[in-house]
Every structure is written in structure tokens, then in C-alpha cells.
Amino acid sequence: MTTPRIGIYPGTFDPITLGHLDIIRRGAKLVDELIVGVTTNPSKNPMFTPDERMAMVRREVDEQGIDNVRVVGFNALLMKFAEKQGASVIVRGLRAVADFEYEYQMAGMNQQLNDRIETVFLMADVSLQPIASKLVKEIALFGGDIAGFVTPAVRDDVVARVQQQGQLGDY
């Protein structure tokens, strides 16, 4: 009997984008169980609370019909979280060279913390490479259409939040 291979795909998912869902779908094929770790990062100026983001990710994963994914919130050092979950793999998505430089450095630091956990990089689908949650929020806050970057349900969530917070800009 072999030990199940558990992977962690960490992020803030504020909001979850089509790019995130692409990495979740593909990452779930590499492991027996993929844990989407929804973390806090106040420096990213979150639009949604951690609980709202976890519910959003769960809904979107369920909608995709991916059955080996679990969504877990965490507010800790990634490698400590991964150890606690019994993970042997960290899954990271890459969009551009700038992502690689940052992720390469993080992977090296994480390896120093625990060399039993490997980092696996997945290139984002070419059509999804420009998508970033930060940009999605910015477009929405200025009244732009984000339909090409998120699912319809996430679009509705973001539009509702923008209506609550107030749209920016002159137009």
C-alpha cells in the first residue's frame, strides 16, 4: 500500500481566476489529493475575506467537478502548512519570466526549510497568462468588464463587492 501523494496549491485567490482554475485542474492530475491553500496576505489589499475566498474557491472547484481537491485556509509559513497536511509537493503556476524569478527564489528557500517537499511549476495556458487577480480587481473597480478572466459566478461576486465599496474613476 502506497502513501497517497498530496499536493498544495497555495494562494490568496482574491478572486479566483480562470488561470487559477486551469492550474487546479492540471495540478489535481499530478497528485492523489490537491489541497488548495487559501492564505491571507494583507499587503495584497484583499477584496474578499478569507472565508469568502474559501467559499468561492470551493464553489468553483465543485462546479468544475474535480473530486480530489480540498480547500483549506491557512495563515502560516507555507512549509509548516504543507508538513501539517502531509504534502510532498507544492504546485505553483507561472505566467511570465517575472513570476519565474520570484517563484525560483521561493522554491529555493522552501527547499532549505524542508527538502522532502518538491516544488512543481506549471505554465499557465497561453490564453490565460496575462490574468492576475490584482488586475482583475483593478479592472472591476474602474468599471471594466472582467468576464473574460473569471467565471460568471465570480464575476457576479466581484461586481457586487465593487457596488458595495464604490466604483473608482471619472466615467
Positions marked catalytic: 20, 44, 95, 133
Q: Exposed, middle or buried: residue 145 (CB in 10 Å: 0-12, 13-18, 19+)? A: exposed
Cβ contacts of residue 66 below 8 Å, gap of 6+?
Answer: 24, 25, 28, 34
Q: For residue 108, what is its C-alpha cell?
A: 529555493
Residue that is written with C-alpha cell 527538502 in the block: 115
Q: Exposed, middle or buried: residue 118 (CB in 10 Å: 0-12, 13-18, 19+)? A: middle
